[in-house]
A and B are shown apart, each in its own frame.
Chain A
Amino acid sequence: MGLLSPTMQDLLLEAAWQTLLMVGASAAIAVVLGLPLALLLLLTMPGGLAANALVHRPLGLVVNAVRSTPFIILMVAIVPFTRMVAGTSIGTNAAIVPLALAATAFIVRLFENALREVDRGVIEAARAMGATRLQIVTKVLVPEAMPGLVAAVTVTLVSLVGYSAMAGAIGGGGLGDLGIRFGYQRFMPEVMAIVVAILILFVQGLQSLGDRLVRRLSRR
């Protein structure tokens, strides 16, 4: 890294850590919130194991609303909420709030699709064997959908890397922010190049890790 000054190297390291933190934390939150929500959507849909339009419709609406709001607007729109949760509306921690929210809405639909792919016949077999709904969820739906769920997490992580670059707008920091501030605004093309290279490596790494995991889990 002789190309960069020691200060710049520190900045890069810090930015990489911030990106990692934003992506990792918001993805973790998205998975934890997204899976139960996706299951809820699936079970309550018409013809589902616990069909309930009163739950399904509003939940679907909220998810779609969040999904269709451009991230940059979402980030600004939920500032009061962010302040409530993170105690502040700027900085890396604050950026995690809108990122987690967007990622949750994003992953819910991906999870829902993955769960929907589970063969109806297998669920029916479980019912015929006297399984409870909870057992069907934990022993059939989730394990059978696991490769699809992992693929959904991979897609979400990759998208989050992109979204996290926008978090610079509220002082979130991270690699994208660094690239714009130094590479673009201060005309340091080498910084931009390195930032882009790191992001590409990062995304590639995530993708191939995810793919490998999916392949290992997939028994079809």
Chain B
Amino acid sequence: MIRLAGLSKRFGTIGPLALDSVSLSVEQGEVFGIVGRSGAGKSTLIRCVNLLERPDEGHVEVLGQDLLALDEAGLRTARRSIGMVFQHFNLLSSRTVAGNIAFPLEVAGVPRAEREARISELLPLVGLETKREAYPAQLSGGQKQRVGIARALASSPRILLCDEATSALDPETTAEILTLIRNLRERLNLTVLLITHEMSVVKAICDRVAVMEAGRIIEQGQVFQVFTRPEAETTRRFVSGVIGHGVPSGTLARLPPPNPGEQQRLLQILFAGPGSTRSVISEATRRFDLDLNIISGRIDEIGGVPFGVMALAVYGESQRIDAAISWMRGLGLEVTEGIPEVRANPPAETA
């Protein structure tokens, strides 16, 4: 659906690359998230998908069309099949809800009666039946974003781009809007590309995710994969805020030292599904005569898949610990040695 290849972009003649040969493919029907800190180049990247921003180099293919090869009129037509939702809603303050939703249709020359009919279809879809004649100033943030979504969907696009669509909203409203986007994706068979600086958004609705840093994609994959086995340090930090991957720095130094002749080993155990880890762990201690110190544990759900992460300090003889690890691996648990330490409170990220 969306194929970006080797995109590079530099603002001005000097300075860092806002995009540094970024390649990305988004498949039909998926919700693809791009996450990264403020200034990582996320907005620049998503704006390249409908050519609001023209890359200096690279290839932009959307719905099988090479957008960079289109003339202005062709590009305008192509843009009508790509809806876009913005962080600050970007509604016309001089128009009512209905007028805002009608805008893309007016621009495309859709006759009035048809526009009205389409508005009547869209309003219930976003739960704004009663707000048809309200002005944006009379709406809450969540309602404004619903108008933004309805407007983006008015010309029946197949792709929805969301640039920090929930970053100006409170957590509860964010959850509502994310649920709405997810439901619309299913009902309308949309492909969604969204960018965010919040891993919780990715966790809530994305199927795949790419992590951006300094204009590059440093990691990408299935959300479950990236959350449970983050590779890059930046990813780990993003993920840790949401799923408690790793432990706050300083924690490990405070662990009791091992008895003489014994070892202390740090293990991280990952299990998909709630399972009966409790019994696995208590059985391991009995079976292999080990002491276990549970440092942290958490069960969570990503993309509908429940999973848990547990950080353990194991005390005992070296071979016994090895045996316990193989035994647990044999039961299908993923065991890694070493526990990443992360800053306890990652600084708040802003868009």
Contact = CB atoms under 8 A, between A and B. Distances in A.
Interface string A198-220: 00000000000000000001011
Contact of B106 (A122, A127, A139): A139
A144 B103 contact: no
A205 to B, nearest CB: 26
Interface string B214-227: 00000000000000
Given A128-B84, A129-B103, A129-B107, A144 B50 contact: no
A184 B94 CA distance: 49
A127 B84 CA distance: 10
Contacts of B106: 135, 139
Nearest to B79: A130
A50 B108 CA distance: 21
A198 to B, nearest CB: 36
Contacts of B108: 130
A139 B107 contact: yes
A126 B103 contact: yes
Interface stretch (B85-93, B231-239, B286-294): B85-93
A219 to B, nearest CB: 4
Contacts of A143: 92, 94-95
B142 interface: no
Interface residues of B, number: 29
Contacts of B155: 129-130
A79 interface: no
Contacts of B95: 143
A159 B104 CA distance: 40
A219 B136 contact: yes
B80 A130 contact: yes
Contact of B107 (A121, A122, A135, A146): A135
Contact of A144 (B75, B76, B86, B93): B93
Q: What secondary structure prevails in chain B residues at the interface with A?
A: mixed
B294 to A, nearest CB: 49
The range of chain A's interface size is: 20 to 34
Given A219-B93, A219-B135, A219-B136, A131 B88 contact: no
A128 B107 CA distance: 11
B50 A128 contact: yes
Contacts of B137: 219-220
A140 interface: yes
A219 B137 CA distance: 7
Nearest to B104: A129
Contacts of A219: 93-94, 135-137
Given A140-B92, A144-B92, A125 B86 contact: yes
A140 B79 CA distance: 18
B97 to A, nearest CB: 12
B122 to A, nearest CB: 14
Contacts of A217: 94
A69 B72 CA distance: 42
B52 A128 contact: yes
A124 interface: yes
A119 B90 CA distance: 8
Contact of B88 (A121, A127, A128, A220): A121
B65 interface: no
B90 A220 contact: no
Given A130-B79, A131-B76, A219-B135, A125 B107 contact: no
A126 B90 CA distance: 9
A125 to B, nearest CB: 4
Interface in B125-166: 135-137, 151, 155, 161
A122 B76 contact: no
Contact of A132 (B76, B93, B94): B76
B77 interface: yes
A129 B103 CA distance: 8
Contacts of B76: 130-132
A126 B103 CA distance: 8
The 8 A-B pairs at the shortest CB distance, nearest first, are namely A125-B90, A121-B90, A130-B76, A130-B79, A129-B104, A128-B84, A219-B135, A143-B94
25 contacts: A122-B90, A122-B92, A124-B52, A125-B86, A125-B90, A125-B151, A128-B50, A128-B52, A128-B79, A128-B82, A129-B79, A129-B84, A130-B75, A130-B76, A130-B77, A130-B78, A130-B79, A130-B80, A130-B155, A131-B107, A140-B92, A144-B92, A146-B94, A217-B94, A219-B135
Given A131-B107, A144-B94, 11 more contacts: A121-B86, A126-B103, A128-B84, A130-B76, A130-B80, A130-B155, A135-B106, A135-B107, A139-B103, A219-B94, A219-B137
